[in-house]
Structure 1
Amino acid sequence: MDLDIRRAVLHNIKDNNKQELQETIVDAIQKREEKMLPGLGVLLEVIWNKADPAFRDQLLTQLEQGVKAS
């Protein structure tokens, strides 16, 4: 079975507004279900691909701090 997770995730959220996208992210984080992790990864990939170098650096700084605090 060949499953294109990226395409499926993007198809499922393509018409979502900012509020709906936020609800999707918050819901995935709060439920802590492993099956949601690939979808969050796809969303991170979208953000990363659209980000300029300064924003990428900011993301990496926040990630580094968050990982160290875990």
Structure 2
Amino acid sequence: MDLNLRNAVIANVSGNSKEELEATISDAIQSGEEKMLPGLGVLFEVLWEKSPESEKEEILTTLENGLK
């Protein structure tokens, strides 16, 4: 992923409230547009990097179960 895109996504959502972040994520998913996927990927990257190991295990379990 292009570093400029990553920085742009982070800049666009930095300082957003939980409600605003939820709206951004929900809108991206509901739109179904492929162009939204990189932004969701950047948000997932932030989540992954900031999560402790126990939460990473929970995320992986959720993903595994969701992909069955």
Q: Distance in 2 between matches of 1:54 and 1:15?
A: 26
Q: CA deviation at 1:3?
A: 6.3
Q: Which residue of 2 aligns with 1:9?
A: 9
Residue 34 in 1 paired to residue 34 in 2? yes
Q: Structure 2 length as normaliser, TM-score?
A: 0.93
Q: What does the per-residue CA deviation read over 1:5-47, in whole Å, with 9 as the maximum and x for residues that have no partner?
A: 1100001111211100000000000011000000000000000
Going from structure 1 to structure 2, the CA distance change for 1:51 and 1:28 (only over 3 Å counts) comes to: same
Give the letter for the 1:17 counterpart: S
Q: Distance in 2 between matches of 1:56 and 1:15?
A: 24
Structure 1 unaligned regions, length at least 5 = none
Q: Which residue of 2 aligns with 1:56?
A: 56
Structure 2 unaligned regions, length at least 5 = none
Identity of matched residues, %: 55
Cα RMSD between the aligned structures? Answer: 1.2
- State the secondary structure of the residue aligned to 1:15: coil
Q: Structure 1 length as normaliser, TM-score?
A: 0.91
Number of aligned residues: 67
